[in-house]
Structure 1
Amino acid sequence: MKVVKVINNNLIKSFDDKNNEVLVMGCGLGFKKVPGDEINESLIEKIYTVNDKTNSSQLIQLLEKIPLEQIQTTNEIISFAKASLGKKLNQNIYITLVDHINFALERRKNGVAIRNALLWEIKKLYNHEFLVGKEALNIISRRLGVSLPEDEAGFIALHFVNALMDDLSMEKTTDMTKMIQRILSIIKYHFKLELDEYSIHYERFITHLKFFAQRIFTGVKIEDQDSQFIEVLKLKYKKEYECTLKVRDYIKQEFNCDLTEDEMIYLTIHINRITTTI
Protein backbone atom coordinates (compact mmCIF):
# COMPACT_ATOMS: atom_id res chain seq x y z
CA MET A 1 0.00 0.00 0.00
CA LYS A 2 1.43 3.36 -1.06
CA VAL A 3 1.08 6.90 0.26
CA VAL A 4 -1.26 9.03 -1.85
CA LYS A 5 -1.41 11.99 0.51
CA VAL A 6 -0.02 12.69 3.98
CA ILE A 7 -2.75 14.24 6.13
CA ASN A 8 -0.57 14.50 9.24
CA ASN A 9 2.06 12.46 11.09
CA ASN A 10 -0.56 9.89 12.08
CA LEU A 11 -2.86 9.81 9.04
CA ILE A 12 -2.34 8.93 5.37
CA LYS A 13 -4.70 8.73 2.40
CA SER A 14 -4.20 5.67 0.19
CA PHE A 15 -5.98 3.01 -1.88
CA ASP A 16 -6.42 -0.64 -0.95
CA ASP A 17 -5.90 -3.65 -3.22
CA LYS A 18 -9.49 -3.23 -4.54
CA ASN A 19 -8.78 0.40 -5.45
CA ASN A 20 -11.04 1.72 -2.68
CA GLU A 21 -10.02 4.99 -1.10
CA VAL A 22 -8.86 4.43 2.48
CA LEU A 23 -7.54 6.51 5.36
CA VAL A 24 -4.73 4.72 7.19
CA MET A 25 -4.04 5.65 10.81
CA GLY A 26 -1.06 4.86 13.00
CA CYS A 27 1.27 6.67 15.38
CA GLY A 28 4.03 8.28 13.29
CA LEU A 29 2.76 6.63 10.11
CA GLY A 30 3.06 9.80 8.02
CA PHE A 31 6.29 11.14 9.51
CA LYS A 32 8.67 12.19 6.72
CA LYS A 33 6.57 10.34 4.13
CA VAL A 34 5.80 11.63 0.64
CA PRO A 35 3.36 10.46 -2.05
CA GLY A 36 4.55 7.21 -3.62
CA ASP A 37 6.32 5.90 -0.51
CA GLU A 38 5.42 2.48 0.82
CA ILE A 39 3.34 2.54 4.00
CA ASN A 40 4.99 0.84 6.96
CA GLU A 41 2.40 -1.85 7.70
CA SER A 42 3.82 -2.52 11.18
CA LEU A 43 2.66 0.96 12.23
CA ILE A 44 -0.92 0.62 10.95
CA GLU A 45 -3.50 0.73 13.74
CA LYS A 46 -6.69 1.29 11.77
CA ILE A 47 -7.79 1.44 8.14
CA TYR A 48 -10.94 3.44 7.39
CA THR A 49 -12.70 2.55 4.16
CA VAL A 50 -14.24 5.66 2.62
CA ASN A 51 -17.59 5.22 0.89
CA ASP A 52 -17.93 8.66 -0.64
CA LYS A 53 -16.21 12.05 -0.88
CA THR A 54 -18.44 13.61 1.79
CA ASN A 55 -17.52 10.97 4.36
CA SER A 56 -13.87 11.26 3.36
CA SER A 57 -13.89 15.01 3.93
CA GLN A 58 -15.73 14.73 7.27
CA LEU A 59 -13.45 11.97 8.53
CA ILE A 60 -10.28 13.81 7.52
CA GLN A 61 -11.44 16.99 9.27
CA LEU A 62 -12.21 15.06 12.46
CA LEU A 63 -9.06 12.96 12.48
CA GLU A 64 -6.93 16.05 11.82
CA LYS A 65 -8.23 18.02 14.81
CA ILE A 66 -8.87 15.30 17.39
CA PRO A 67 -5.95 13.96 19.48
CA LEU A 68 -4.68 10.54 18.44
CA GLU A 69 -5.31 8.99 21.86
CA GLN A 70 -9.01 9.91 21.63
CA ILE A 71 -9.24 8.32 18.17
CA GLN A 72 -7.51 5.18 19.43
CA THR A 73 -9.90 5.07 22.39
CA THR A 74 -12.92 5.38 20.11
CA ASN A 75 -11.61 2.61 17.86
CA GLU A 76 -11.25 0.31 20.88
CA ILE A 77 -14.83 1.09 21.94
CA ILE A 78 -16.17 0.33 18.47
CA SER A 79 -14.19 -2.92 18.30
CA PHE A 80 -15.65 -3.95 21.66
CA ALA A 81 -19.17 -3.03 20.49
CA LYS A 82 -18.83 -5.09 17.30
CA ALA A 83 -17.74 -8.14 19.27
CA SER A 84 -20.38 -7.68 21.97
CA LEU A 85 -23.35 -6.86 19.74
CA GLY A 86 -22.34 -9.38 17.08
CA LYS A 87 -23.82 -7.27 14.31
CA LYS A 88 -22.59 -5.11 11.46
CA LEU A 89 -22.33 -1.42 12.27
CA ASN A 90 -22.74 1.45 9.85
CA GLN A 91 -19.28 2.83 9.02
CA ASN A 92 -20.47 6.33 9.94
CA ILE A 93 -20.09 5.30 13.59
CA TYR A 94 -16.39 6.13 13.25
CA ILE A 95 -17.34 9.73 12.43
CA THR A 96 -20.24 10.23 14.82
CA LEU A 97 -18.77 8.53 17.88
CA VAL A 98 -15.30 10.06 17.77
CA ASP A 99 -16.94 13.48 17.39
CA HIS A 100 -19.32 12.81 20.29
CA ILE A 101 -16.59 11.56 22.64
CA ASN A 102 -14.38 14.53 21.81
CA PHE A 103 -17.27 16.90 22.57
CA ALA A 104 -18.11 15.02 25.79
CA LEU A 105 -14.52 15.33 26.97
CA GLU A 106 -14.53 19.06 26.19
CA ARG A 107 -17.75 19.50 28.17
CA ARG A 108 -16.25 17.61 31.11
CA LYS A 109 -13.11 19.76 31.00
CA ASN A 110 -15.23 22.92 31.05
CA GLY A 111 -17.50 21.66 33.81
CA VAL A 112 -20.59 21.53 31.59
CA ALA A 113 -22.94 18.65 32.41
CA ILE A 114 -25.76 17.60 30.07
CA ARG A 115 -28.54 15.43 31.47
CA ASN A 116 -29.74 12.57 29.28
CA ALA A 117 -33.53 12.89 29.40
CA LEU A 118 -33.94 9.44 27.80
CA LEU A 119 -31.56 7.57 30.11
CA TRP A 120 -34.30 5.48 31.76
CA GLU A 121 -35.82 4.57 28.39
CA ILE A 122 -32.43 3.68 26.92
CA LYS A 123 -31.66 1.36 29.85
CA LYS A 124 -34.99 -0.41 29.40
CA LEU A 125 -35.31 -0.51 25.62
CA TYR A 126 -31.67 -0.86 24.56
CA ASN A 127 -30.12 -2.65 27.52
CA HIS A 128 -27.36 -4.38 25.52
CA GLU A 129 -26.32 -1.15 23.80
CA PHE A 130 -26.42 0.63 27.19
CA LEU A 131 -24.08 -1.96 28.69
CA VAL A 132 -21.73 -1.32 25.76
CA GLY A 133 -21.98 2.38 26.62
CA LYS A 134 -21.05 1.59 30.24
CA GLU A 135 -17.99 -0.33 29.07
CA ALA A 136 -17.12 2.61 26.80
CA LEU A 137 -16.93 4.80 29.92
CA ASN A 138 -14.55 2.26 31.49
CA ILE A 139 -12.35 2.32 28.38
CA ILE A 140 -12.33 6.13 28.36
CA SER A 141 -11.42 6.20 32.06
CA ARG A 142 -8.64 3.64 31.62
CA ARG A 143 -7.10 5.15 28.50
CA LEU A 144 -7.71 8.87 28.99
CA GLY A 145 -8.02 9.18 32.75
CA VAL A 146 -11.40 10.93 32.54
CA SER A 147 -14.53 9.73 34.33
CA LEU A 148 -17.73 10.55 32.45
CA PRO A 149 -21.23 10.33 34.02
CA GLU A 150 -23.72 7.54 33.33
CA ASP A 151 -25.71 9.92 31.13
CA GLU A 152 -22.90 9.62 28.59
CA ALA A 153 -23.27 5.83 28.52
CA GLY A 154 -26.84 6.47 27.35
CA PHE A 155 -25.74 8.88 24.63
CA ILE A 156 -23.08 6.44 23.42
CA ALA A 157 -25.66 3.63 23.43
CA LEU A 158 -27.89 5.63 21.07
CA HIS A 159 -24.97 6.00 18.67
CA PHE A 160 -24.75 2.23 18.47
CA VAL A 161 -28.53 1.87 18.13
CA ASN A 162 -28.30 4.28 15.22
CA ALA A 163 -25.33 2.42 13.71
CA LEU A 164 -27.34 -0.82 13.73
CA MET A 165 -30.11 0.73 11.63
CA ASP A 166 -29.76 1.97 8.07
CA ASP A 167 -31.26 5.25 6.86
CA LEU A 168 -31.85 6.68 10.34
CA SER A 169 -30.30 9.87 11.70
CA MET A 170 -29.48 10.32 15.38
CA GLU A 171 -32.49 12.65 15.66
CA LYS A 172 -34.79 9.96 14.27
CA THR A 173 -33.26 7.35 16.58
CA THR A 174 -34.07 9.62 19.55
CA ASP A 175 -37.61 10.17 18.27
CA MET A 176 -37.98 6.42 17.78
CA THR A 177 -37.01 5.82 21.41
CA LYS A 178 -39.60 8.37 22.56
CA MET A 179 -42.22 6.70 20.34
CA ILE A 180 -41.63 3.26 21.85
CA GLN A 181 -41.86 4.64 25.37
CA ARG A 182 -45.07 6.50 24.54
CA ILE A 183 -46.68 3.35 23.10
CA LEU A 184 -45.79 1.45 26.27
CA SER A 185 -47.34 4.26 28.34
CA ILE A 186 -50.55 4.10 26.29
CA ILE A 187 -50.80 0.36 26.96
CA LYS A 188 -50.12 0.73 30.70
CA TYR A 189 -52.70 3.51 31.04
CA HIS A 190 -55.32 1.72 28.92
CA PHE A 191 -55.12 -1.49 30.98
CA LYS A 192 -54.18 0.26 34.24
CA LEU A 193 -51.34 -2.17 34.96
CA GLU A 194 -47.58 -2.46 35.08
CA LEU A 195 -46.00 -4.71 32.46
CA ASP A 196 -43.69 -7.59 33.37
CA GLU A 197 -40.46 -6.32 31.85
CA TYR A 198 -38.74 -9.66 32.43
CA SER A 199 -41.23 -11.82 30.54
CA ILE A 200 -40.43 -13.33 27.15
CA HIS A 201 -43.58 -11.76 25.70
CA TYR A 202 -42.42 -8.31 26.80
CA GLU A 203 -39.00 -8.82 25.21
CA ARG A 204 -40.63 -9.95 21.97
CA PHE A 205 -42.96 -6.97 22.04
CA ILE A 206 -40.07 -4.55 22.51
CA THR A 207 -38.30 -6.16 19.55
CA HIS A 208 -41.47 -5.77 17.49
CA LEU A 209 -41.80 -2.11 18.52
CA LYS A 210 -38.21 -1.39 17.51
CA PHE A 211 -38.78 -2.71 13.99
CA PHE A 212 -42.23 -1.11 13.94
CA ALA A 213 -40.77 2.30 14.81
CA GLN A 214 -37.96 1.82 12.29
CA ARG A 215 -40.52 1.15 9.57
CA ILE A 216 -42.45 4.29 10.54
CA PHE A 217 -39.35 6.48 10.26
CA THR A 218 -38.09 4.91 7.03
CA GLY A 219 -41.52 4.87 5.35
CA VAL A 220 -41.63 1.08 4.95
CA LYS A 221 -45.06 -0.51 5.40
CA ILE A 222 -46.24 -4.07 5.84
CA GLU A 223 -48.76 -4.77 3.10
CA ASP A 224 -52.21 -5.97 4.13
CA GLN A 225 -52.55 -9.71 3.68
CA ASP A 226 -55.80 -10.69 5.42
CA SER A 227 -58.37 -7.92 5.85
CA GLN A 228 -60.92 -10.36 7.32
CA PHE A 229 -58.68 -11.29 10.25
CA ILE A 230 -58.87 -7.77 11.67
CA GLU A 231 -62.64 -8.19 12.01
CA VAL A 232 -62.09 -11.38 14.01
CA LEU A 233 -59.63 -9.59 16.32
CA LYS A 234 -62.10 -6.76 16.97
CA LEU A 235 -64.47 -9.31 18.49
CA LYS A 236 -62.03 -11.70 20.15
CA TYR A 237 -59.66 -9.09 21.59
CA LYS A 238 -61.93 -6.09 21.95
CA LYS A 239 -60.03 -4.28 24.71
CA GLU A 240 -56.65 -4.97 23.09
CA TYR A 241 -57.91 -3.67 19.75
CA GLU A 242 -59.26 -0.53 21.41
CA CYS A 243 -55.75 0.01 22.80
CA THR A 244 -54.29 -0.47 19.33
CA LEU A 245 -56.65 2.22 18.04
CA LYS A 246 -55.18 4.62 20.61
CA VAL A 247 -51.68 3.76 19.39
CA ARG A 248 -52.82 4.30 15.79
CA ASP A 249 -54.26 7.72 16.68
CA TYR A 250 -51.03 8.69 18.44
CA ILE A 251 -48.92 7.68 15.42
CA LYS A 252 -51.23 9.58 13.09
CA GLN A 253 -51.22 12.72 15.22
CA GLU A 254 -47.51 12.82 15.99
CA PHE A 255 -45.98 11.42 12.79
CA ASN A 256 -48.77 11.78 10.20
CA CYS A 257 -48.54 8.09 9.38
CA ASP A 258 -51.42 5.67 8.81
CA LEU A 259 -51.02 2.10 10.07
CA THR A 260 -51.97 -0.74 7.77
CA GLU A 261 -54.42 -3.39 8.96
CA ASP A 262 -51.58 -5.89 9.23
CA GLU A 263 -49.72 -3.52 11.59
CA MET A 264 -52.93 -3.25 13.62
CA ILE A 265 -53.18 -7.05 13.74
CA TYR A 266 -49.60 -7.52 14.93
CA LEU A 267 -49.92 -4.81 17.59
CA THR A 268 -53.21 -6.24 18.88
CA ILE A 269 -51.79 -9.76 19.19
CA HIS A 270 -48.66 -8.55 20.97
CA ILE A 271 -50.68 -6.37 23.34
CA ASN A 272 -52.84 -9.37 24.17
CA ARG A 273 -49.78 -11.46 24.98
CA ILE A 274 -48.09 -8.95 27.28
CA THR A 275 -51.31 -8.03 29.13
CA THR A 276 -52.61 -11.55 29.73
CA THR A 277 -49.37 -12.91 31.21
CA ILE A 278 -49.24 -10.45 34.09
Structure 2
Amino acid sequence: MYRIVNIINNNVALVKNEKHEELMVTGSGIAFQKRKGDLIIGSKVDKVFRLNTEESKENFLTLLKDVPLDFITVTYDVIDALVVKYEYSVQEYLYVTLTDHIYCSYHAVQKGTYQYSRLPDVSYEYPIEYAMAEEALAIFKTKLLDSFPDDEVGRIALHFINAKGEDVSSPTSKINRTKNILELVKEELKESQIERTKENSNFYDRFMVHLSYFLDYLDRSRDDNTSLLDMESHIKNSYPKAYEIGTRIYEVIATETGVDLYRSERVYIVLHIQRLL
Protein backbone atom coordinates (compact mmCIF):
# COMPACT_ATOMS: atom_id res chain seq x y z
CA MET A 1 0.00 0.00 0.00
CA TYR A 2 1.16 3.54 -0.77
CA ARG A 3 -0.11 6.79 0.74
CA ILE A 4 -0.35 9.74 -1.65
CA VAL A 5 1.86 12.74 -0.89
CA ASN A 6 1.19 14.60 -4.13
CA ILE A 7 -0.78 13.79 -7.28
CA ILE A 8 1.17 14.58 -10.44
CA ASN A 9 -1.54 13.44 -12.87
CA ASN A 10 -4.04 10.59 -13.17
CA ASN A 11 -1.25 8.11 -13.85
CA VAL A 12 1.59 9.39 -11.62
CA ALA A 13 1.78 10.15 -7.91
CA LEU A 14 4.39 10.96 -5.31
CA VAL A 15 3.78 8.57 -2.38
CA LYS A 16 5.21 7.16 0.82
CA ASN A 17 5.45 3.45 1.56
CA GLU A 18 5.16 1.64 4.89
CA LYS A 19 8.76 2.65 5.70
CA HIS A 20 7.87 6.32 5.04
CA GLU A 21 10.18 6.39 2.00
CA GLU A 22 9.20 8.85 -0.74
CA LEU A 23 8.62 7.15 -4.09
CA MET A 24 7.18 8.02 -7.48
CA VAL A 25 4.65 5.45 -8.68
CA THR A 26 2.98 5.09 -12.06
CA GLY A 27 0.03 3.10 -13.34
CA SER A 28 -3.04 3.58 -15.48
CA GLY A 29 -5.52 5.77 -13.56
CA ILE A 30 -3.91 5.10 -10.15
CA ALA A 31 -4.54 8.68 -8.96
CA PHE A 32 -7.88 9.26 -10.68
CA GLN A 33 -10.39 10.88 -8.28
CA LYS A 34 -7.95 10.49 -5.38
CA ARG A 35 -6.60 13.09 -2.95
CA LYS A 36 -3.53 13.67 -0.85
CA GLY A 37 -3.50 11.12 1.97
CA ASP A 38 -5.50 8.49 0.07
CA LEU A 39 -4.10 4.98 -0.37
CA ILE A 40 -3.03 3.28 -3.58
CA ILE A 41 -3.11 -0.50 -3.70
CA GLY A 42 0.22 -2.03 -4.67
CA SER A 43 -1.32 -4.28 -7.30
CA LYS A 44 -2.48 -1.18 -9.25
CA VAL A 45 1.07 0.16 -9.55
CA ASP A 46 3.00 -0.62 -12.74
CA LYS A 47 6.31 1.01 -11.86
CA VAL A 48 8.01 2.35 -8.72
CA PHE A 49 10.80 4.94 -8.91
CA ARG A 50 13.12 5.36 -5.95
CA LEU A 51 14.16 9.00 -6.30
CA ASN A 52 16.91 9.29 -3.72
CA THR A 53 17.53 13.04 -3.93
CA GLU A 54 15.55 16.23 -4.40
CA GLU A 55 17.43 16.69 -7.66
CA SER A 56 16.26 13.33 -9.00
CA LYS A 57 12.68 14.15 -8.03
CA GLU A 58 12.87 17.54 -9.76
CA ASN A 59 14.39 15.95 -12.85
CA PHE A 60 11.57 13.42 -13.06
CA LEU A 61 8.90 16.11 -12.73
CA THR A 62 10.64 18.33 -15.28
CA LEU A 63 10.70 15.53 -17.84
CA LEU A 64 7.00 14.86 -17.31
CA LYS A 65 6.22 18.34 -18.65
CA ASP A 66 7.64 17.55 -22.10
CA VAL A 67 8.13 13.81 -22.48
CA PRO A 68 5.54 10.96 -22.49
CA LEU A 69 5.67 8.72 -19.45
CA ASP A 70 6.62 5.57 -21.38
CA PHE A 71 9.82 7.21 -22.66
CA ILE A 72 10.74 8.23 -19.11
CA THR A 73 10.06 4.83 -17.56
CA VAL A 74 11.87 2.88 -20.28
CA THR A 75 14.94 5.14 -20.21
CA TYR A 76 15.12 5.15 -16.41
CA ASP A 77 14.85 1.35 -16.39
CA VAL A 78 17.60 1.09 -19.00
CA ILE A 79 19.98 3.32 -17.05
CA ASP A 80 19.26 1.61 -13.73
CA ALA A 81 19.77 -1.87 -15.19
CA LEU A 82 23.00 -1.01 -17.00
CA VAL A 83 24.46 0.84 -14.01
CA VAL A 84 23.97 -2.29 -11.91
CA LYS A 85 25.08 -4.78 -14.55
CA TYR A 86 28.29 -2.94 -15.45
CA GLU A 87 28.92 -1.45 -11.99
CA TYR A 88 29.08 1.90 -13.72
CA SER A 89 28.66 5.12 -11.74
CA VAL A 90 26.78 7.93 -13.49
CA GLN A 91 25.91 11.50 -12.69
CA GLU A 92 22.28 12.34 -11.99
CA TYR A 93 21.75 14.48 -15.09
CA LEU A 94 22.08 11.43 -17.37
CA TYR A 95 18.45 10.55 -16.65
CA VAL A 96 17.38 13.91 -18.08
CA THR A 97 19.75 14.13 -21.04
CA LEU A 98 19.36 10.56 -22.30
CA THR A 99 15.56 10.59 -21.94
CA ASP A 100 15.38 13.92 -23.74
CA HIS A 101 17.70 12.66 -26.47
CA ILE A 102 15.77 9.43 -27.08
CA TYR A 103 12.48 11.32 -27.31
CA CYS A 104 13.95 13.86 -29.77
CA SER A 105 15.47 11.07 -31.89
CA TYR A 106 12.11 9.30 -31.90
CA HIS A 107 10.44 12.43 -33.28
CA ALA A 108 13.16 12.91 -35.89
CA VAL A 109 12.76 9.33 -37.13
CA GLN A 110 8.97 9.62 -37.24
CA LYS A 111 9.13 12.91 -39.15
CA GLY A 112 11.81 11.69 -41.54
CA THR A 113 14.25 14.40 -40.41
CA TYR A 114 16.76 12.16 -38.63
CA GLN A 115 20.35 13.09 -39.50
CA TYR A 116 23.15 10.58 -39.16
CA SER A 117 26.10 11.69 -37.06
CA ARG A 118 29.78 11.46 -37.85
CA LEU A 119 30.86 10.57 -34.37
CA PRO A 120 34.17 8.73 -33.98
CA ASP A 121 34.07 4.98 -33.38
CA VAL A 122 34.43 4.71 -29.59
CA SER A 123 34.08 0.93 -29.35
CA TYR A 124 37.81 0.35 -28.84
CA GLU A 125 38.47 3.34 -26.62
CA TYR A 126 35.33 2.92 -24.50
CA PRO A 127 34.28 -0.74 -24.83
CA ILE A 128 32.11 -0.72 -21.69
CA GLU A 129 30.14 2.38 -22.68
CA TYR A 130 29.75 1.06 -26.21
CA ALA A 131 28.43 -2.27 -24.95
CA MET A 132 26.02 -0.44 -22.66
CA ALA A 133 24.83 1.67 -25.59
CA GLU A 134 24.26 -1.40 -27.75
CA GLU A 135 22.13 -2.99 -25.02
CA ALA A 136 20.26 0.25 -24.44
CA LEU A 137 19.42 0.66 -28.13
CA ALA A 138 18.18 -2.93 -28.34
CA ILE A 139 15.74 -2.19 -25.52
CA PHE A 140 14.66 1.13 -27.04
CA LYS A 141 13.97 -0.65 -30.32
CA THR A 142 11.91 -3.32 -28.58
CA LYS A 143 9.90 -1.04 -26.28
CA LEU A 144 9.72 2.34 -28.05
CA LEU A 145 10.49 2.23 -31.78
CA ASP A 146 11.88 -0.68 -33.79
CA SER A 147 13.20 1.66 -36.51
CA PHE A 148 15.68 3.52 -34.31
CA PRO A 149 18.86 3.71 -36.47
CA ASP A 150 21.98 1.83 -35.38
CA ASP A 151 23.67 5.25 -35.54
CA GLU A 152 22.13 5.84 -32.11
CA VAL A 153 24.67 3.49 -30.49
CA GLY A 154 27.45 6.06 -30.77
CA ARG A 155 25.24 8.85 -29.51
CA ILE A 156 24.00 6.86 -26.53
CA ALA A 157 27.58 5.82 -25.70
CA LEU A 158 28.55 9.50 -25.68
CA HIS A 159 25.84 10.17 -23.09
CA PHE A 160 27.27 7.49 -20.79
CA ILE A 161 30.83 8.72 -21.33
CA ASN A 162 29.95 12.35 -20.56
CA ALA A 163 27.92 11.39 -17.48
CA LYS A 164 30.41 8.95 -15.96
CA GLY A 165 31.01 9.51 -12.28
CA GLU A 166 34.77 9.73 -12.80
CA ASP A 167 37.07 10.91 -15.57
CA VAL A 168 37.47 8.48 -18.46
CA SER A 169 38.79 10.88 -21.06
CA SER A 170 41.52 10.19 -23.60
CA PRO A 171 43.88 13.04 -24.55
CA THR A 172 43.77 12.16 -28.24
CA SER A 173 40.06 11.59 -28.77
CA LYS A 174 37.43 13.87 -30.19
CA ILE A 175 35.30 13.02 -27.18
CA ASN A 176 38.02 14.40 -24.92
CA ARG A 177 37.87 17.68 -26.82
CA THR A 178 34.13 17.88 -26.25
CA LYS A 179 34.48 17.16 -22.54
CA ASN A 180 37.26 19.75 -22.12
CA ILE A 181 35.31 22.46 -23.91
CA LEU A 182 32.18 21.73 -21.88
CA GLU A 183 34.25 22.17 -18.71
CA LEU A 184 35.56 25.52 -19.99
CA VAL A 185 31.99 26.59 -20.78
CA LYS A 186 30.88 25.63 -17.25
CA GLU A 187 33.72 27.75 -15.83
CA GLU A 188 32.66 30.66 -18.04
CA LEU A 189 29.09 30.29 -16.78
CA LYS A 190 30.28 30.14 -13.19
CA GLU A 191 32.18 33.40 -13.61
CA SER A 192 28.90 34.93 -14.81
CA GLN A 193 27.16 33.60 -11.66
CA ILE A 194 25.31 30.89 -13.60
CA GLU A 195 25.57 27.47 -11.98
CA ARG A 196 23.41 24.37 -12.20
CA THR A 197 20.65 24.33 -9.57
CA LYS A 198 17.51 22.26 -9.12
CA GLU A 199 15.50 25.26 -10.38
CA ASN A 200 17.41 25.61 -13.66
CA SER A 201 18.60 22.01 -14.11
CA ASN A 202 16.36 21.32 -17.11
CA PHE A 203 17.53 24.39 -19.06
CA TYR A 204 21.15 23.87 -17.97
CA ASP A 205 21.18 20.22 -19.07
CA ARG A 206 19.51 21.02 -22.39
CA PHE A 207 22.19 23.65 -23.02
CA MET A 208 24.94 21.11 -22.32
CA VAL A 209 23.28 18.61 -24.66
CA HIS A 210 23.03 21.27 -27.37
CA LEU A 211 26.71 22.14 -26.99
CA SER A 212 27.73 18.48 -26.93
CA TYR A 213 26.02 17.74 -30.26
CA PHE A 214 27.11 21.06 -31.74
CA LEU A 215 30.74 20.20 -30.99
CA ASP A 216 30.36 16.73 -32.49
CA TYR A 217 28.89 18.16 -35.71
CA LEU A 218 31.44 20.95 -36.22
CA ASP A 219 33.07 19.13 -39.12
CA ARG A 220 29.78 18.42 -40.88
CA SER A 221 29.03 20.45 -44.00
CA ARG A 222 26.02 22.67 -43.37
CA ASP A 223 24.65 26.13 -44.11
CA ASP A 224 24.36 29.08 -41.77
CA ASN A 225 20.83 29.68 -40.46
CA THR A 226 19.79 32.92 -42.15
CA SER A 227 16.55 33.27 -40.17
CA LEU A 228 18.55 33.34 -36.94
CA LEU A 229 20.98 35.86 -38.40
CA ASP A 230 18.03 38.14 -39.15
CA MET A 231 17.14 37.96 -35.43
CA GLU A 232 20.66 38.60 -34.13
CA SER A 233 20.43 42.40 -33.89
CA HIS A 234 17.10 42.20 -32.06
CA ILE A 235 18.40 39.55 -29.66
CA LYS A 236 21.57 41.57 -28.96
CA ASN A 237 19.49 44.63 -28.01
CA SER A 238 16.85 42.69 -26.09
CA TYR A 239 19.18 40.42 -24.12
CA PRO A 240 22.47 42.33 -23.72
CA LYS A 241 23.73 40.30 -20.74
CA ALA A 242 22.94 36.95 -22.38
CA TYR A 243 24.55 38.19 -25.60
CA GLU A 244 27.70 39.20 -23.74
CA ILE A 245 28.00 35.83 -21.96
CA GLY A 246 27.06 33.90 -25.10
CA THR A 247 29.69 35.75 -27.13
CA ARG A 248 32.40 34.82 -24.62
CA ILE A 249 31.35 31.14 -24.80
CA TYR A 250 31.21 31.35 -28.61
CA GLU A 251 34.78 32.70 -28.62
CA VAL A 252 35.99 29.98 -26.23
CA ILE A 253 34.62 27.30 -28.57
CA ALA A 254 36.11 28.97 -31.65
CA THR A 255 39.52 29.26 -29.96
CA GLU A 256 39.58 25.69 -28.64
CA THR A 257 38.39 24.07 -31.87
CA GLY A 258 40.10 26.33 -34.38
CA VAL A 259 36.90 26.26 -36.44
CA ASP A 260 35.45 29.35 -38.10
CA LEU A 261 32.01 29.11 -36.49
CA TYR A 262 28.78 30.27 -38.05
CA ARG A 263 27.30 33.40 -36.48
CA SER A 264 23.95 31.67 -36.09
CA GLU A 265 25.58 29.32 -33.58
CA ARG A 266 26.19 32.32 -31.33
CA VAL A 267 22.47 33.13 -31.50
CA TYR A 268 21.62 29.58 -30.40
CA ILE A 269 24.00 29.92 -27.47
CA VAL A 270 22.61 33.32 -26.47
CA LEU A 271 19.04 32.00 -26.45
CA HIS A 272 20.08 29.15 -24.15
CA ILE A 273 21.86 31.62 -21.84
CA GLN A 274 18.78 33.85 -21.70
CA ARG A 275 16.70 30.88 -20.53
CA LEU A 276 19.22 30.28 -17.76
CA LEU A 277 19.14 33.94 -16.72
Q: TM-score, with normalisation over the residues of structure 2?
A: 0.54
Aligned to 1:101: 102
Instruction: Show CA shifts across 1:112-161 (max 9, x none).
Output: 223333231x2232122112212222112211233222221111112222
In structure 1, C-alpha distance between the alignment counterparts of 2:172 and 2:14, rounded to whole Å: 42
Aligned to 1:33: 34
Instruction: Show CA shifts across 1:19-56 (max 9, x none).
Output: 6654333343322321001233231513141523x654
Match of 1:180 among 169, 172, 180: 172
Stretch of structure 1 that moved more, 54-63 or 141-150: 54-63
In structure 2, C-alpha distance between the alignment counterparts of 1:14 and 1:67, rounded to whole Å: 20
Query: 2:147 corresponds to which letter in structure 1?
Result: S
Q: Quick check: 2:117–2:151 contact (8 Å CA) kept in 1?
A: yes
Q: Which has the higher helix share?
A: 1
Aligned to 1:10: 11
Aligned to 2:48: 46
Aligned to 2:118: 117
Q: Cα gap change, 1:152/1:82 in structure 2, threshold over 3 Å: closer, same or farther?
A: same
Q: Quick check: 1:29–1:44 contact (8 Å CA) kept in 2?
A: no
Tell me by how many angstroms 1:16 deviates: 5.9
Aligned to 2:91: 90
Secondary structure of the corresponding residue to residue 2 of structure 1: strand
Secondary structure of the corresponding residue to residue 14 of structure 1: strand
Give unmatched runs, 5+ long, in structure 1. Answer: 184-208, 220-252, 256-278
Q: Percent identity?
A: 29
Secondary structure of the corresponding residue to residue 4 of structure 2: coil
In structure 1, C-alpha distance between the alignment counterparts of 2:53 and 2:98, rounded to whole Å: 17
Secondary structure of the corresponding residue to residue 145 of structure 1: coil
Aligned to 1:133: 133
Secondary structure of the corresponding residue to residue 23 of structure 1: strand
Aligned to 2:205: none
Q: Cα gap change, 1:73/1:2 in structure 2, threshold over 3 Å: closer, same or farther?
A: same
Query: 2:155 corresponds to which letter in structure 1?
Result: F
Q: Quick check: 1:90–1:163 contact (8 Å CA) kept in 2?
A: yes
Q: Cα gap change, 1:48/1:100 in structure 2, threshold over 3 Å: closer, same or farther?
A: farther
Query: 1:152 corresponds to which letter in structure 2?
Result: E
Q: Quick check: 2:3–2:39 contact (8 Å CA) kept in 1?
A: yes
Aligned to 1:151: 151
Q: Quick check: 1:13–1:23 contact (8 Å CA) kept in 2?
A: yes
Query: 1:80 corresponds to which letter in structure 2?
Result: A
Q: Quick check: 2:106–2:145 contact (8 Å CA) kept in 1?
A: no
Q: Quick check: 1:23–1:50 contact (8 Å CA) kept in 2?
A: no
CA RMSD between the two structures: 3.7
Q: Quick check: 2:23–2:48 contact (8 Å CA) kept in 1?
A: no
Q: Quick check: 1:84–1:132 contact (8 Å CA) kept in 2?
A: no
Q: Quick check: 1:89–1:164 contact (8 Å CA) kept in 2?
A: yes
Count of residue correspondences: 185
Query: 1:181 corresponds to which letter in structure 2?
Result: S
What is the 5 A alignment of 1:49-88?
Answer: 49=51, 51-52=53-54, 56-88=57-89
In structure 2, C-alpha distance between the alignment counterparts of 1:16 and 1:106, rounded to whole Å: 36
In structure 2, C-alpha distance between the alignment counterparts of 1:114 and 1:180, rounded to whole Å: 26
In structure 2, C-alpha distance between the alignment counterparts of 1:116 and 1:85, rounded to whole Å: 26
Secondary structure of the corresponding residue to residue 7 of structure 2: strand
Aligned to 2:164: 164
Tell me by how many angstroms 1:90 deviates: 2.7
Secondary structure of the corresponding residue to residue 124 of structure 1: coil
Q: Cα gap change, 1:254/1:6 in structure 2, threshold over 3 Å: closer, same or farther?
A: same
**Larger relative contact order, structure 1 or 2 (CA cutoff 8 Å, min sep 6):** 2
Q: Cα gap change, 1:41/1:119 in structure 2, threshold over 3 Å: closer, same or farther?
A: farther
